[in-house]
Amino acid sequence: MSHVSSHSPTGQSPLRTVQVLGGSSASSSAHVRSLASGLVARGVRVTVCAPAGADRAYGFSGVGARHVAVPRSGDPAAVSALRTACADADLVHAHGLHAALRSILALSGRRVPLVVTWHTPADAEGARARLLRLLERRVARAASVVLGTSSGLVDRARSRGARDARLAAVALPAPRPPAEPADPDRFRHKTRAELGSTGRPLLMAVGSLDRHRGYDTLLDAARAWCRLDPVPLLVIAGEGPLRPVLQRRIEEEELPVRLVGRRDDVAELLAAADVALLTGRGEARSVLAQEALHAGVPLVATAAGDVAELVGDAAELVPRDDARALADAVTRLLADPARQDELRERGARQAATWPTEDETVAQVLSVYDELTQTRPPG
């Protein structure tokens, strides 16, 4: 279904949209790039408001969007810069709670539709949890439409007072640039050799080194894998505040774990792995889970958040914060090639049910159409 004609009818200017990013989430940034590319191709004008480095990292301007550098949420200049960028917008689409809050402030006094996508459930405790609820309520009630990337987030938005909340599963953007080595097996062996896992199983986890990722449980499980022969190597790709703590534990307990920092070749690392591990405390649409199933890598994941909704029966699910269950599941899987093959087949079937980038853009654009049908002629 083509939407091009609906955005440049006779006498009407192209739809002008502003995409607002907080700048902290790789998955939402990649989604906005994908969205911008699809919208521009359909004749929509797209301005992306994001921190200065985001355009270099994600290439919004490379797909035909206009990038406006807007500081991160803590900067007092952010709302002012955003207000200027949104001055002639027909519709504003904010990604994440902090981006949404700044958009609400920037649009104050103007009747411009605001779409908000909730990409992942925020987590907080004590006084911060109360503040988070207030923030979610403010955003949910101010938005014309809230798009949740999982049914759990849609329910959460409704419970916070959203007048219109819908499921809008976000597609996993295609790798950029596509990395298809001429000889995948040789490439895989080379990657494993570089990581130090020649002749031993390679376990892979990806994500920022913070407390919500469950890395403490992962290191507890790694102790049990020391008894296996050969001992698997666990590689964790990501950077964050917990790095010194995790590194100290790895050294003191002599764990078979390597922290390799933030990498731009995660897809290649994952393709070389025997098992992918997802131990977080709840993500809506985990990029790692999607990449693992697409790449045919068996996944062991914590049954938290909406992971089960995403992966179905195509992964081994274990209870949250249960190191023994995690260690046992990985040990069983490594010893069972038939189960690995079964998970690969199920993974391919499950991945085929997820929306494509094109379907994601079409759904978002249909929401924009609903909200902007009474635009004045250009």
Is residue 232 within 8 A of residue 202, CB to CB? The reply is yes
Lowest mean pLDDT among 2-6, 41-45, 73-77: 2-6
Report which DSSP code applies to 211. Answer: G
Check: CB of residue 315 under 8 Å from CB of residue 300: yes
Extract the runs of DSSP E, i.e. beta strands, from 24-65. 45-50
**Cβ(21)–Cβ(99) under 8 Å?**
yes
pLDDT over 90 (residue 181): no
Q: What is the pLDDT of residue 177?
A: 46
pLDDT at 2 over 70: no
Contact 22, 96 (CB under 8 A): yes
Instruction: Copy the structure tokens of residue 329.
Output: 């599941």
CA atoms within 13 A on the CB side of 137: 6
Residue 6 pLDDT:
47
Q: Are 112 and 90 in contact (CB under 8 A)?
A: yes
Q: How far is CA 38 from CA 85, 184, 274, 318, 350, in A?
A: 21, 30, 34, 37, 24
Main-chain dihedrals φ then ψ at residue 317, nearest 5 degrees: -105, 135
pLDDT band per the 50, 70, 90 thresholds, residue 374:
low
How far is residue 166's CA from residue 360's CA, in Å, rounded to a whole number? 13
pLDDT at 73: 64
Return the closest-CA partner of residue 172 out of 71, 55, 298, 288.
288
- Alpha carbon distance 318, 303 (integer Å): 6
Measured in degrees and rounded to the nearest 5, phi and psi for residue 304 equal: -130, 155
- Quick check: helix, strand or coil at residue 300? strand
Confidence (pLDDT) at 78: 84
> Residues 136, 122: contact at Cβ < 8 Å?
yes
- Give the residue among 286, 283, 271 at the shortest CA–CA distance from 344: 271
* Residues 183-236: tens digit of each pLDDT: 677 778 888 988 888 899 999 999 888 888 889 999 999 999 999 999 999 999
pLDDT of residue 165: 97
The DSSP output letter for 377 is: P
Dist. CA 241–CA 223, nearest whole Å: 22
Distance CA 78, CA 360 (A): 28
Domains in the chain, ordered, with CATH? Answer: 4-171+356-372 (3.40.50.2000), 184-351 (3.40.50.2000)
pLDDT at 373: 86
Q: Say if CB 281 and CB 248 are below 8 A apart.
A: no
**Greater confidence, 374 or 136?**
136
Q: State mean pLDDT over 64-75.
A: 85
Any idea what the Cα angle at residue 151 is, between residues 149 and 155, rounded to 5°? 110
What is the mean predicted confidence (pLDDT) over 180-185?
62
Q: Per-residue pLDDT for 347 more than 80?
A: yes
Residue 377 has pLDDT above 80, yes or no: no
User: Is residue 176 predicted with pLDDT exceeding 60?
Assistant: no
pLDDT of residue 3: 43
- Paired strand residues for 18: 47, 92
| Percent of the chain scoring above 90 in pLDDT | 62
Going by C-alpha positions, the residue among 231, 96, 91, 75 that lies closest to residue 153 is 96
CA 162 to chain centre: 22
270, 188 Cβ separation under 8 angstroms: no
pLDDT digits (tens, 9 = 90+) for 74-124: 667 888 999 999 999 999 999 999 899 999 999 998 999 999 999 877 777
Instruction: Tell me, rounded to whole angstroms, the distance of Cα 32 from its chain centroid.
Output: 11
pLDDT of 9 strictly over 60: no
296: confidence class by pLDDT, cuts 50, 70, 90: very high
Confidence band of 8 (pLDDT split at 50, 70, 90)? low
Q: Taking residues 291-318, what's their average pLDDT?
A: 90
How many of the other CB atoms lie within 10 Å of CB of 74? 7
pLDDT score, position 300: 96
Q: Please report the pLDDT score of residue 212 as a whole number.
A: 80
Contacts 24+ apart (CB under 8 A), 371-375: 371/91, 371/113, 371/115, 371/144, 371/145, 372/15, 372/90, 372/91, 372/113, 375/12, 375/15, 375/90
Average pLDDT over residues 41-55: 93
Residue 28 CA, chain-centre distance (Å), reads 5
Report the chain's mean pLDDT, rounded to a whole number. 88
- Can you give the pTM of this predicted structure? 0.81
Of the candidate ranges 64-68, 182-186, 265-269, 370-374, the one whose mean pLDDT is the lowest: 182-186
